[in-house]
A and B are shown apart, each in its own frame.
Chain A
Amino acid sequence: AQSVSQHNHHVILSEAASLELGCNYSYGGTVNLFWYVQYPGQHLQLLLKYFSGDPLVKGIKGFEAEFIKSKFSFNLRKPSVQWSDTAEYFCAVSPARSGNTPLVFGKGTRLSVIA
C-alpha cells in the first residue's frame, strides 16, 4: 500500500522568507500527486496537482511543486511567504490507474508565518 511522508511537522518562518515543504511517497508505479491547504477553522482546499507532463506544477497563491520521480518526492515551494499563508499543508497521493483509488494523505505540516 502506498504511504506519504511529510518530514516537517511544524515550520515557523518570517514574512518574505522562502518556503519548501517536503513530501515523499512510497509507490512503485505511476502516481497522481496533490497538495491541499487547510486554513485555520476551514476545510481542505486544493493548492495544486500533478498527474502528467511538466514536473514543475504551479498552483494558486504563488505556490509551486516539483515532481522528482527518481526521489519519489513532490516538494511544495513558495519564494516569499505571507502571514496569510499560515495554515496546515497536506500532501496526498493516488495511484494513476483505474479502479478504486482513494487518496492517501500525509500527516500534514503546520506552517506559522510571523511578522
Chain B
Amino acid sequence: NAGVTQTPKFQVLKTGQSMTLQCAQDMNHNSMYWYRQDPGMGLRLIYYSASEGTTDKGEVPNGYNVSRLNKREFSLRLESAAPSQTSVYFCASSEDGYTYSNQPQHFGDGTRLSIL
C-alpha cells in the first residue's frame, strides 16, 4: 500500500541545470498537486491537476512546468534551476478535488532539493 511515491528523495543541482521530479499514486485518485515547503512559509501550491489531462497554476508556478502523464503520474520540471528553488517539494493526491473539495489530500515523503 504505497500511497504517493516521490523520486528522488534528495538531489543537489547546480544553477542552470534541469531536473524532473517524479510522483506516482496508486489510489486511483483524480487530482494531484505539487507544493513547495520553505521555513516559515508553510506549503505553497506550485501546480495542480484536477483530473487527467488538465493542469492549472497554483500560487508560485514561475520557473516550473508540470506534466500529467496519466492518471497515476504527475511530474514537476525545473528547466533552469535557481538557488531560490532550493526547497522541499511535496506531491499530493486526492480522490476528486474538482467536485468534492472535502476530500483530504494524501502526501508523498517529499524531495529535498538543493541548488548551488
Interface residues of A (CB under 8 A from B): 9, 32, 34, 42-46, 49, 51, 90, 94-108
Contacts and interface: CB of A to CB of B under 8 A. Distances in A.
Contact of A32 (B35, B40, B43, B101): B101
Cβ-closest 7 pairs across A and B: A51-B102, A107-B42, A101-B101, A43-B107, A105-B43, A32-B102, A44-B107
Contacts, number: 61
B61 interface: no
A9 B41 CA distance: 11
Which of the listed residues A34, A51, A102, A106 has the most CB atoms from chain B within 10 Å of its own CB? A102
Contact of A108 (B33, B42, B98, B106): B42
- SS class, residues of chain A in contact with chain B: loop
A99 B31 CA distance: 12
B45 A102 contact: yes
6 contacts: A46-B104, A46-B105, A98-B101, A102-B48, A105-B35, A105-B43
